[in-house]
A and B are shown apart, each in its own frame.
Chain A
């Protein structure tokens, strides 16, 4: 697929991944799927009259965007995880009707199973070190320095309101902030995906609420994307100006959806 067809969020998250490697193939596939979900979300009618697709499809699309966005980020941060997964899914042993224990999990791959209270204890075994995208280790060794790089390297006047608000967060609090927002929005979407409600769905997933969920997931992904592009050792990073072009165009699109 030509890169021009990928949504700016996919471009920002995936970076310059058109290298033909297995990793870039995975990322391109995920970015294309993400593009498909965003396209479907933009077809929902959030204005005035109730569109039944909003309450039925909205939570699914929002959660899908969040999961795909985080998967792309994880692929760049920890290629091992998705490359292994790819091999497993391609093996003859892989059966689609059998639960896969190695699939990417919200709890474990994106958010850690539990908080690590003493991450630098010298007796800790490597299997006890969570590699979750927003876990305590990546918080300290990756997100904090990358966030500082973003704050220091952002060109004057770029980044819009989203960056203005990010500037009010400390590097130490960045990952925790994103983690709690991600957890809340994921849970809110999941109730609609699993049809947990025994009360009318439209009372909870009305247009305003679904629009807010979509806004949140896109903003969260875009925020992590712009920070990841400010990292030093991550593959496929975009040039600063290009990353900000995508970031701002995503923000503008979301603003127009909310207008």
Chain B
């Protein structure tokens, strides 16, 4: 495979993507276009979605359509990733100072590209005034887009973040931020329903253009897959692309993994057998390891991973008996097991389709779509047949119901969050980041040896090392520095 295509297939996070290639490998559906419109317009927006749902790509795309990247735009777009370890480890005034410094640097960087200057003292009040002045000077409103604002395992700094979010907003300055669905701590000054529009980033097969979007992603990033001959003559490629998108519940990150697995398939063709084998491969190499990968970044919620695993086993076991893709869980169970369910949504095992739906057995509950990858693993024979393909593509099966009494979920308990727990990932040895299924862009053995010799023993050591120090290490150049940044970013933030 040409080097460029190989690189494209490995890029997992939009924020790691080279701006020059971003447009070439990202595709947006009609529904995405609606979300981008919201991001371009004035007004506070919180973009909510699980890991790999495409929040960063939407924010970056919106900023690309604004000034200065688009000279005709009537608003200025500033995209800022908050993936920065000191931010994660600070709170109160320290957090505010670090945040402001980064924002000033970023605005200077963006405006510097067109020869404009910007300066402010690193305090929220002075930045707010300086940005308002900038808006007046440019006769354009300003849109600030904060990516990775809310870390799933660390909520202490969120009150500060949302305070800043609110303070910076004005009649000509609007803030947008990407958050995870489990974020609930917005501080005392921020009312999430009154102070922002919450937009869910969801993709499901019922949306118009769903199949087409995944087909376009394949064409842009994995053109070789289109050369694989379908073994079943009835299979159209757009339908295959849609099925693959459906198999990962519309999650772009998992879709990239899925396509990589197909590329590596020895058969170099596409049929029910290859699709089925790939889905099973993803279950073993991606989905289940993801729970282990996520666990050390959950902080106080780490104890919730075990119950989440129990829930997953119960859901997929029960639904696997009949191959039904939907589960309807009574709201009392959801209320008791809210956090573990959120974790399962975050890692892409399940996705919510209805918050409130009537159970045949009485009461109301939440309907989830289950990952067909994991479901296939629980089916008798574990084979994807043409009949199953058709059923999953077109039939709307009744969901399997999980009632308060008698269901396998009813007996699952939830431990208390461990409020003293810190982010364990930071203390993990750097070997954790070795190139693997979980970290396909991870560190090579040679890089690990070099880093260890330089005294970089833990993920925290690596995250705290400035780029120029990494660059100065033997056999580590700018490309490897970027690779290290990316893998640390994935390990700590994603």
Contact = CB atoms under 8 A, between A and B. Distances in A.
Interface in A228-259: 255, 258-259
Contact of B206 (A157, A188, A206): A157
A204 B193 contact: no
A212 B41 contact: yes
Contacts of B33: 258-259
Contacts of A202: 74, 139
B391 interface: no
A148 interface: yes
A52 interface: no
A107 to B, nearest CB: 15
Scoring B37, B204, B352 by chain A CB atoms within 10 A of each residue's CB, the highest score goes to B37
Task: Sort chain A's interface into a size bin.
Answer: 35 or more
B171 A197 contact: yes
B66 to A, nearest CB: 9
Contacts of A130: none
Interface in A185-226: 188, 191, 197, 199-200, 202-204, 206-209, 211-213, 215
Contacts of B354: 151, 167-168
Contact of B172 (A48, A204, A211): A204
A208 B174 CA distance: 13
A100 interface: no
A203 B197 contact: no
A52 B31 CA distance: 29
Interface stretch (B99-107, B355-363, B439-447, B468-476): B355-363
A62 to B, nearest CB: 12
B393 interface: no
Interface of A: 48, 50, 148, 151-152, 156-157, 160-161, 164-165, 167-171, 176-177, 180-181, 183-184, 188, 191, 197, 199-200, 202-204, 206-209, 211-213, 215, 255, 258-259
A128 to B, nearest CB: 24
Contact of B355 (A169, A199, A212): A169
Nearest to A206: B74
24 contacts: A50-B74, A148-B364, A151-B357, A152-B358, A156-B396, A157-B206, A164-B204, A167-B353, A168-B202, A168-B354, A170-B355, A180-B194, A184-B43, A184-B194, A199-B172, A203-B135, A203-B139, A203-B141, A207-B74, A208-B41, A212-B40, A255-B34, A258-B33, A258-B37
Contacts of A191: 171
B30 A165 contact: no
B233 interface: no
Contacts of A258: 33-34, 37
A203 B132 CA distance: 12
A215 B358 CA distance: 31
B185 interface: no
B111 to A, nearest CB: 17
B193 A171 contact: no
B200 to A, nearest CB: 6
B154 interface: no
Given A180-B193, A180-B194, A188-B42, 16 more contacts: A157-B396, A160-B208, A161-B208, A164-B204, A168-B202, A169-B355, A171-B356, A177-B193, A184-B194, A197-B171, A203-B74, A204-B141, A206-B74, A208-B37, A208-B40, A212-B38
A19 B166 CA distance: 50
Contact of B74 (A165, A188, A208): A208
Per DSSP, are chain B's interface residues mostly helix, strand or loop, or mixed? Answer: mixed
A176 B193 CA distance: 8
Interface string B35-73: 001101111000000000000000000000000000010
A199 B173 CA distance: 13
A167 B74 CA distance: 34
Contact of B356 (A148, A206, A215): A148
Scoring B30, B74, B358, B396 by chain A CB atoms within 10 A of each residue's CB, the highest score goes to B74
A206 B76 CA distance: 12
Interface string B167-209: 0000110000000000000000000011001001010101110
A203 B171 CA distance: 9
A201 to B, nearest CB: 11
A194 to B, nearest CB: 13
B200 A165 contact: yes
B38 A164 contact: no
A161 B75 contact: no
Contact of B42 (A48, A197, A204): A204
B357 A168 contact: no
A191 B194 CA distance: 18
Given A188-B43, A208-B74, A164 B207 contact: yes
Given A170-B356, A203-B141, A258-B34, A212 B42 contact: yes
A183 B200 contact: no
A209 B194 contact: no
B74 A255 contact: no
A130 B418 CA distance: 45
Contacts of A50: 74
A164 B207 CA distance: 8
Contacts of A148: 356, 364
